Amino acid sequence: MKKRILTGLKPTGELTLGNYIGAISQMVELSNDENNEVYLFVADLHALTEYQDPNTLRDRIKKFIAMYIACGIDPEKVVVYIQSDNEYIPMISWILECNTYYGEASRMIQFKEKSKGKENFTVGLLTYPILMAADILYCDSDFVPVGIDQKQHVEIARDIAERFNNKYGQTFKLPQPLISKEGVKIKDLKDPTKKMSKSETNPNGVISLFDSPEMVTKKIMGATTDSENLVYFDEENKPGISNLLNIASVISKRTTEDIANEYKTAGYGNFKKYVASLTSQMISDIQEKYNHIISSGKLEEILNKGKENSRKLAYEKMNQMKKKVGLN
């Protein structure tokens, strides 16, 4: 029996090299395994916990889907959809909210970080992980690929599902987090002590999948390193160089040790040129595929297919839940 795997990305900021290496490429690999059934969505409802310009959000949602496909997601193998196209998920989320304790939601690390120092924040920020639980549970996901910082969200989904099962009888599978090993290693180019994030305020530390080859090269050549001028892997003492080695390793499919041996005494400038060449070529290839997808006009057809598949499962799960809790 196939294992169902689900993941999504919020359409805030632009997709980055970190997203590609940490999430999208892993989904491509997982979807190519005939033992897996992959669901991949744009989490546009989650984006609303903070104000988004409506026109920008609307445009970015379609861009995300097209970029997923350009990065290697095959819509013949993967169910690709937009979260807000499935109107049953908010109903599922509400029933789950009614089976979640305030203390559970308020203890979430993301809620603490986002609400810290703020007098006013939306209730959506508090219930964010419960909507995520609805995304995970409606389709009986077996695994959810996440970074280490998102593991807690899968754990609360399990807790809520287990509580619901105990109250009302077996309804949900208990999902497992699938930690990405490579994605968590891709760091900000300017501050290699933190991950590369599409929401980062310093654009020079983040490589967007929409950056031109010239911009990619400029950012990598300006990446923070150290003064030793020797290329070798040491994340604690040489986080900048180690980050560039990780990027080069993933793209070239060579080991960091192999690359470090080749460039150890070549100087940081030559090493950065190598990483920049690899990265800019890969992103150029992705952009060429992206432009073809946009111009082909097939995006709506792909989204409609994914929407119907997603809605069918959510409708069945919602009715099952409603019956168990006593709703008509």
User: What is the residue-wise DSSP string for 16-64?
Assistant: BHHHIIIIIHHHHHHHTSTTEEEEEEE-HHHHTTS---HHHHHHHHHHH
Residue in this structure with the two tokens 């940490």, named with its chain if needed: 22
Q: Note the pLDDT tens digit of each residue in 75-92.
A: 999 999 999 999 999 999
CB 226 within 8 A of CB 192: no
DSSP state at residue 189: S
Return the CATH number of 203-291, one of 3.40.50.1860, 1.10.240.10, 3.30.70.260, 3.20.20.210: 1.10.240.10
| Model pTM score | 0.84
- What pLDDT score was predicted for residue 181? 57
- What pLDDT score was predicted for residue 183? 46
Which residue blocks in the chain are alpha helix, DSSP H?
17-19, 25-31, 44-47, 54-70, 88-97, 102-106, 109-115, 123-137, 151-168, 213-221, 239-252, 256-263, 268-296, 299-325
- What pLDDT score was predicted for residue 12? 85
Q: Can you list the residues of the chain whose pLDDT is less than 70? A: 112, 115, 117, 180-184
SS3 8: strand
Of the candidates 273, 190, 265, the residue with the CA atom closest to the CA atom of residue 225: 190
Catalytic residue flag (residue 195): yes
Q: Note the pLDDT tens digit of each residue in 182-215.
A: 444 789 999 998 888 877 778 999 999 999 999 9
Return the CATH number of 3-179+297-325, one of 3.40.50.620, 1.20.210.10, 1.10.10.60, 3.30.70.270: 3.40.50.620
Pick the catalytic residue from 198, 289, 305, 324: 198
Pick the catalytic residue from 195, 219, 238, 272: 195
Catalytic residue flag (residue 198): yes
Instruction: Work out whether the CA dihedral 106, 47, 74, 311 comes out positive or negative.
Output: positive
**Distance separating alpha carbons of residues 247 and 25, to the nearest angstrom:** 13
Pick the catalytic residue from 3, 62, 114, 173: 114
Hey, where are the domains in the chain? Answer: 3-179+297-325, 203-291
**What is the average pLDDT score of the chain?**
92
Catalytic residue flag (residue 77): no
Of the candidates 317, 328, 319, the residue with the CA atom closest to the CA atom of residue 141: 317
